[in-house]
Amino acid sequence: MTLFVAQAVDLLNQFIWPLVRVGAVLLTGPFFSLAAVNLRVRIAVVFVLTWMLFPMVTIPDIDPFSFGAVSGILHEVMIGGLMGLSLQIVVAALIVAGQAIAGSMGLSMANMVDPSLGNVPTLSQFFLIIGMLLFLSLGGHLVIITLLASSYEWVPIASGGLSLAMVMAMVSWSSEMFVGAVVIAFPIMTGLLLVNALLGLVARAAPSLNVFAIGFPALIPLGLGMLLVTMGIWFEQVENLWFLGFEAATEVLMAD
């Protein structure tokens, strides 16, 4: 009985190491971190993935009650967090694009409280839902699992702190949040800018005409119409952004 307890404790000690990284990735990564995903489901997914990856992981021989164990756990949390946050840049780009378009359309006041992201415009929420569905259709959840399995080869468990190259790669990729948002919102914002320019010409030509009462309500249906017309381009840009996110997560992990 004593031997069985000792083996169980040793197995639990080895099982915790991959569990920390898997939990950090699913806590910060897209889709799995959504509040809409039930907590019990997330815990079950973490344990199942850890059990699948456990035989392929090299477990370090570290005393669980030592300072090395604490620093090793922090290392695993940071590596998992970097993987998840590198993909969250795409989600942030969708939200920023939705905010920019909503502001141009006059829908910036139509906000929605999201448990995961806070107070965001309804258009950003629409972009987020479609982006998550596109993420699943591209097999993004499988890509995350593949990156997890490969990360233990590129960055072994408790192999030290974050390297400067990893931090620089993450900072460089984070700028794509604004670039991606501009690329997504550019066609619609350009069309709305032309509409506003035409309204300005009308106001200049006929000062007695109340352009504000006529023009601003027209921006909403025109903006929604432009969004429907450009959805094909929108899908291509978001799909390309997800692929760039997968590549960036790989580059962050492989940076040395």
Predicted confidence (pLDDT) per residue in 201-248, tens digit: 877 777 776 766 676 777 888 888 888 888 888 889 999 999 999 999
Residue 115 in this model has a pLDDT that exceeds 60: no
Q: How many CB atoms lie within 10 A of CB 255?
A: 19
Task: Write down the pTM of the prediction.
Answer: 0.84
The strand pairing partners of 118, in sequence order, are 114
Q: State which residues form the domain around 248.
A: 2-254
What lies within 8 Å, CB to CB, of 36 at 6+ separation is 115, 116
Alpha-carbon distance 4 to 198, whole Å?
80
Question: What's the CA dihedral at 59, 60, 63, 64 to 10 degrees?
Answer: -40
Per the structure, how many domains does the chain have? 1
Binned at pLDDT 50, 70 and 90, residue 124 comes out as: confident
What was the pLDDT predicted at 240? Answer: 92
39-83 pLDDT, tens per residue? Answer: 888 888 888 888 888 888 877 777 767 777 788 888 888 888 888
Mean pLDDT, the chain, whole residue set: 82
Length of the chain (residues): 256
Alpha-carbon distance 137 to 132, whole Å?
9
Alpha-carbon distance 194 to 61, whole Å?
65
Q: Decide if 246 contacts 143 (C-beta within 8 A).
A: yes
What was the pLDDT predicted at 1? Answer: 47
Alpha-carbon distance 75 to 20, whole Å?
10
Q: Supply angle C-alpha 215, 119, 132, rounded to 5.
A: 95
